[in-house]
Structure 1
Amino acid sequence: MGDRTGQRFGGYTVGAHIADGSMGAVYEGRHDESGERVAIKVLHSRVARDAVAAERFRREYETAKSLQNPYIIEVRDFGETDDGADFMTMELLEGEELSLILAREGGLRPARTVRMLCQLALALHHAHADGVVHRDLKPDNIFVCSRPGGDEIRVLDFGSVKLQMETGPKLTMLGTILGSPYYMSPEQARGELDVDPRSDVFAQTSIMYELATGDVAFAADTIPDILNKIIGEEPPPVRIANTAYPWSFEDVVMKGLRKEKRERFGSSLELGEAMLSAFGLEPELERWARTPIEAIETAILSSAEEVPEPPSPPAFASSAPPELPTRDRRATVLAAGVLLAVLTALGAWLLLRP
């Protein structure tokens, strides 16, 4: 994985190395004519020799290029280096992957979650409307930029996409599981090929769960155990980890994680709107995606005062037997009983005397 800093290709000069991934390396770069700063992603040499990997990389570029949305990474150019490796250029972002934020901070406060999830719902809705299913949605593929009003996300890595009107070559073998195991839908975990936007809805909900709790919804030590949990188990309740989230949020999460896709929300928009309603907010995704976090927090608190939480379960009723009488009390009761018997007998005698 040689360092390409200082190389020139495709009208760009490669600058500092930013990051490495399994497929390629990312560098800061600059366009030679315009001077625009960009990110340059270059396939590793060993990956570039793999025809399937190279095609996935090209598809990632073509898909992202077609999806013009403020919450999806913007790509610029595609080309080949002097030694035959494919590269693409993208907008240069300052921030970090959502996975790093969750690892450092754990569960987030509701207002921050609301803003990010609204942006994610809008990004996915845009992709799905263009017939694109991401199939590998995860915190590693969500880049978070800091803005004056709060977080602003970009969805990354469309190399695993499924096109609803598939025209290009198939990039996976029959039965191959494609995607990150923690965020796979049950149908992906079973290796099914019938994947549609509701698989992304499942992953979207898994991320929603993790934003609230700081924990992966279906955690296990091995891939088979992870997949078995996804297919057959439910995650622990959100409120065990974070009581700042209302019970209504729990209901939304449970529906989004249904094992049968026909029982989930039908779209990313439906999930996003249900999430807003759970906090008592108007289901206006565009509005809350741009609203400053502090204003969202104020709106959530105001709504919580107007719509109280469901009542707590009734107090446990004791089944202890009644208190047994003491010795003195037993004596008093006995004396009263004798007196009553005497009075009754005396009354009967007076009535019956001639």
Structure 2
Amino acid sequence: MVGQKSELDDYIGQCLNNRYLIRDLIGKGGMGRVYLAEDTAKGGMPIAVKILSLNLANQQMSQRFAREIFIGAQLGRKSKHIVRILSYGVTDDKTPFYVMEYLQGKNLKQILKIKPLTISKFLQICNQICLGLQCAHQGISHKGEIYPIVHRDIKPENIFISEDSKQGEIVKILDFGIAKFLTERSGMTLTDSFIGSLPYCSPEHMEGRKLLDVRSDIYSLGVLMFEMLTGKHPFQTKSNSFGTWYQAHRFQMPPTVEEINPQVKVPQILEKLLMSCLAKEVSDRPQNINKILEDLEKVNIQLKDVIPSNGSDIVNLSFPVQLVPATLLSEQECLQKNWPKNKPIAPIGFPHLLHTTQRPIPTFWAMLPKQEITRFLDKIHGTEFISKMNVYPMLLWVTVLYDAEPSMTKWLPYFLDLKDNKGQNIARGLAEVGYYHLLFFPLEDPTRCSHVTTLNLTASQRQQLVDWLEISQQSKELISPNQAKNILKTEYEKLKLDILQNLAIHQKSERESLKNWMNKFLEIFLKFVSRH
């Protein structure tokens, strides 16, 4: 949040809530002004304060503002790609403000002013934007309910590239919840109350539809992605009025990347992704961020070893070379495996690399009572990785057999020490293959594997594993392996509730998808019956 020069400003020098000392103006826009400030309660720690461009006229508006800030604060805790909100309040003249982590770097608008992004840089930044949006769209818990969060104002100014000395460049999405709060102000006309940046708004957003869903953000992301690659907006207007932008978003067909900038050559799958995100009709766009992440991963894989002669655009990416087909080791083959003789007959779990003619495939073997295995066969399973790489290169790999009753959920944790070859090989296998087979052995009849299921890793988990493997090569052990395990165990216990909530969201989504599929099937079946 660095950029604008200081100017005369009534807030500079004030101490908001007797705690936040305003030092300098560092940014301003349609929603308000951002200041560099000090948190006097924390020894002058630098923070950013955003003071909004409106007054809270009544208690109802104050409560709504507090609710949206609460949403933003939850999201910042869930994803490192959403700016963290630390606190909020109102100034003496009833103007709302909120306190954020202070970031050093540039927003995407400042970066794109210089030149478009190379494809490799585009993929790095876009992937992180999608991870932040994915977290928000999956929703947050409020009073026992899960609420998907739509940003409503995705634009270059709200994408910040933060420079972190330890983790390198991290993309952060700004202003979650605020657009919705400002849009919902009562007693205003559409023109007065419309909040959003006209060049990036979806057609349905401009039409004033109240029930915007995640596909509105996907449209804005499409405009943003096009601009990131070409340096230009996909639509041209003669003025900046609401009407001309609405005509462009609703009726203008977007050009191809090559039509705008012949120097930029993008893979066909990426061109197709851009056009689908920019579809006029909501139903023609990708239905969720997961689909976009999958396509970006495919582009990553295609471009892995392609390095042009000028070295200016496509570079060697850090993502795994290729996704190994699941057919290399079928679940049927896993059913032929026997429990190792050197392992006790007891409820334990451990990872094992099974070799094929092409490469080793990661698996996890678990011995459980037969009744438990049966209970979890049709349930949702999840995978989590926990690490503290800054103190010791070790991962806690957790396989979760989910049950809606938390006490019935089964946790299968295992430590991977990235300082030894076994841990490195398993982590590398997981990153490169992108899935692992989970083999169940019944405690009552442990001779042979009785059931197998396959768990897929997300694109972000695979990239995390790649990053951790790279870090482990240079990291120094500040503590012993046993101390590292104790730290990870503590962190693991803290995260269990969040993991269960995420799995509950996933289960609900799967049930809704199944219900929609069944309804569609029934509709087709009834049409068939009526014709015959």
TM-score if structure 1 supplies the norm length? Answer: 0.71
1:175-214 pair list within 5 angstroms: 177-214=194-231
1:55-94 pair list within 5 angstroms: 58-67=66-75, 68=77, 69-94=79-104
- Give 1:160 deviation, angstroms: 4.7
After superposition, the C-alpha distances for 1:223-281 in whole angstroms (9 at most, x for unaligned) are 32222121112222112314332222111111111111112111112112212213435
Kindly tell me: are residues 289 and 97 of structure 1, through their superposed partners in 2, closer, same or farther at Cα, counting changes over 3 Å? farther
Aligned-partner SS, 1:120: helix
- The residue number in structure 2 matching 1:32 is 40
Q: Distance in 2 between matches of 1:4 and 1:178?
A: 24
After superposition, the C-alpha distances for 1:88-115 in whole angstroms (9 at most, x for unaligned) are 111000112211111122x210111101
- Give 1:121 deviation, angstroms: 0.7
After superposition, the C-alpha distances for 1:281-333 in whole angstroms (9 at most, x for unaligned) are 557244458978xx9xxxxxxxxxxxxxxxxxxxxxxxxxxxxxxxxxxxxxx
Q: Distance in 2 between matches of 1:146 and 1:220?
A: 35
Q: Distance in 2 between matches of 1:170 and 1:126?
A: 23
- The residue number in structure 1 matching 2:265 is 244
Residues 104 and 162 in structure 2, CA contact (< 8 A), matched pair in contact too? yes
- The residue number in structure 2 matching 1:284 is 459
- The residue number in structure 2 matching 1:116 is 125
1:260-279 pair list within 5 angstroms: 260-279=281-300
Q: Which amino acid counterpart does residue 84 of structure 1 have in structure 2? A: K
Q: Which amino acid counterpart does residue 97 of structure 2 have in structure 1? A: F
Q: Distance in 1 between matches of 2:183 and 2:276?
A: 34
After superposition, the C-alpha distances for 1:109-147 in whole angstroms (9 at most, x for unaligned) are 011110111111111111111111111111111111234
- Give 1:76 deviation, angstroms: 0.6
Counting matched residue pairs gives 286
Aligned-partner SS, 2:42: coil
Q: Which amino acid counterpart does residue 187 of structure 1 have in structure 2? A: E
Q: Distance in 1 between matches of 2:215 and 2:256?
A: 22
Is 1:18 aligned to 2:36, yes or no?
no
- The residue number in structure 2 matching 1:151 is 169
Q: Distance in 1 between matches of 2:161 and 2:51?
A: 22
Aligned-partner SS, 1:33: helix
Q: Distance in 2 between matches of 1:151 and 1:229?
A: 34
- The residue number in structure 1 matching 2:305 is none
- The residue number in structure 2 matching 1:229 is 248
Larger radius of gyration: 1
- The residue number in structure 2 matching 1:48 is 55
Q: Which amino acid counterpart does residue 108 of structure 2 have in structure 1? A: L
Q: Which amino acid counterpart does residue 265 of structure 2 have in structure 1? A: A
- The residue number in structure 1 matching 2:494 is none
Q: Distance in 1 between matches of 2:10 and 2:190?
A: 36
1:295-306 pair list within 5 angstroms: none
Q: Which runs of 5+ in 1 are unaligned?
A: 296-354
Aligned-partner SS, 1:250: helix
Q: Distance in 2 between matches of 1:232 and 1:181?
A: 15
- Between structures 1 and 2, the one with greater strand share: 2
Q: Which amino acid counterpart does residue 205 of structure 1 have in structure 2? A: G
Kindly tell me: are residues 56 and 221 of structure 1, through their superposed partners in 2, closer, same or farther at Cα, counting changes over 3 Å? farther
1:122-141 pair list within 5 angstroms: 122-130=131-139, 131-141=148-158
TM-score if structure 2 supplies the norm length? Answer: 0.49
Kindly tell me: are residues 29 and 199 of structure 1, through their superposed partners in 2, closer, same or farther at Cα, counting changes over 3 Å? same
- Give 1:175 deviation, angstroms: 5.6
- The residue number in structure 2 matching 1:254 is 275
Q: Which moved more, 1:55-64 or 1:213-222?
A: 55-64
